[in-house]
């Protein structure tokens, strides 16, 4: 029973890792592009984040994101967790992996590198993680929907052009005044608009 629980937990971490590669950095969604932690995203930051994200997702470097890339990334994540290379993930290895990820998130949030988080750094971290601080990730299945929308020709593979188009379309939609920067207020308005659209579809 204990072994089954460990396997289930390891699988959950691998799935979470797959979602995490949707964007680099320590934030959530579009906020992961906020390289200078000023709580807004410029077009240049978004473009740089897209390049980094593409490089990470296209594991086999064939110019497409496909099921093969997702499986390869899962294998990479498992290898990272299996510290002693024995082909299994122990509870100690799982806890060590979680601790490392938490430490990395803290380091990214600690902008001035003084070993503690100021009120501003805490607020920025919460904003990036959707108000969840350093706790659990929120929302399930959103990445799958986004990736489906990006696959415009329906071949179950995403080209770099499709990927860039989908990502920039979201940026342009959020950038309400068209000044090339998405502010906190614009992000909030975009979230509320998406929530309203989902409610309409659900109703």
Q: What are the tokens at 171?
A: 């940026």
Number of domains in the chain: 1
pLDDT digits (tens, 9 = 90+) for 23-59: 444 456 778 888 888 889 999 999 999 999 899 889 8
User: Distance (Å, rounded) from C-alpha 147 to C-alpha 144?
Assistant: 5
Average per-residue pLDDT in the chain?
A: 77
CA end-to-end span of the chain: 42
pLDDT at residue 101 above 70? Answer: yes
Number of residues assigned to the chain: 203
Long-range CB contacts (< 8 A, 24+ apart) of 96-102?
A: 97/13, 98/13, 102/134
pLDDT at residue 8 above 90? Answer: no
User: Strand 158-159 relative to strand 41-42: parallel, antiparallel, unpaired?
Assistant: unpaired
Distances (CA, A) of 38 to 81, 96, 116, 120, 183: 33, 31, 18, 10, 9
User: Distance (Å, rounded) from C-alpha 182 to C-alpha 43?
Assistant: 8
Nearest Cα residue to 12 out of 92, 98, 86: 98
State the pTM of this model: 0.55
Q: Region 50-78: what's the mean pLDDT?
A: 87
User: Distance (Å, rounded) from C-alpha 193 to C-alpha 173?
Assistant: 10
Q: What are the tokens at 164?
A: 């860039």
State the residue range of the domain holding 78.
Answer: 2-202
pLDDT at residue 15 in the model: 42
Q: Region 112-122: what's the mean pLDDT?
A: 85
Task: Give the SS3 label for residue 181.
Answer: strand
pLDDT digits (tens, 9 = 90+) for 150-190: 777 777 788 999 988 988 998 999 999 999 999 989 998 98
Strand partners, 158: 65
pLDDT at residue 127 in the model: 61
pLDDT at residue 27 in the model: 54
């Amino acid at each position: 029973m204990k072994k089954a629980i460990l396997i289930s937990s390891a699988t959950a971490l691998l799935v979470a890792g797959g979602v995490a590669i949707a964007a680099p950095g320590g934030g959530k969604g579009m906020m992961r592009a906020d390289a200078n932690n000023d709580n807004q995203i410029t077009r240049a930051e978004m473009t740089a984040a897209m390049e980094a994200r593409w490089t990470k997702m296209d594991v086999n470097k064939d110019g497409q994101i496909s099921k093969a890339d997702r499986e390869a990334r899962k294998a990479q994540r498992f290898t990272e967790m299996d510290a002693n290379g024995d082909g299994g993930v122990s509870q100690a290895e799982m806890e060590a992996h979680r601790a490392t990820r938490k430490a990395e998130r803290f380091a990214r949030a600690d902008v001035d590198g003084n070993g503690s988080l100021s009120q501003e750094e805490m607020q920025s971290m919460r904003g990036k993680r959707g108000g969840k601080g350093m706790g659990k990730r929120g929302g399930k299945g959103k990445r799958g929907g986004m990736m489906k929308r990006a696959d415009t020709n329906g071949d179950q593979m995403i080209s770099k052009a499709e990927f860039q188009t989908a990502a920039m379309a979201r940026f342009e939609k959020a950038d309400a005044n068209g000044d090339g920067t998405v502010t906190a207020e614009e992000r909030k308005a975009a979230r509320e608009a998406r929530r309203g659209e989902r409610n309409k579809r659900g109703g």
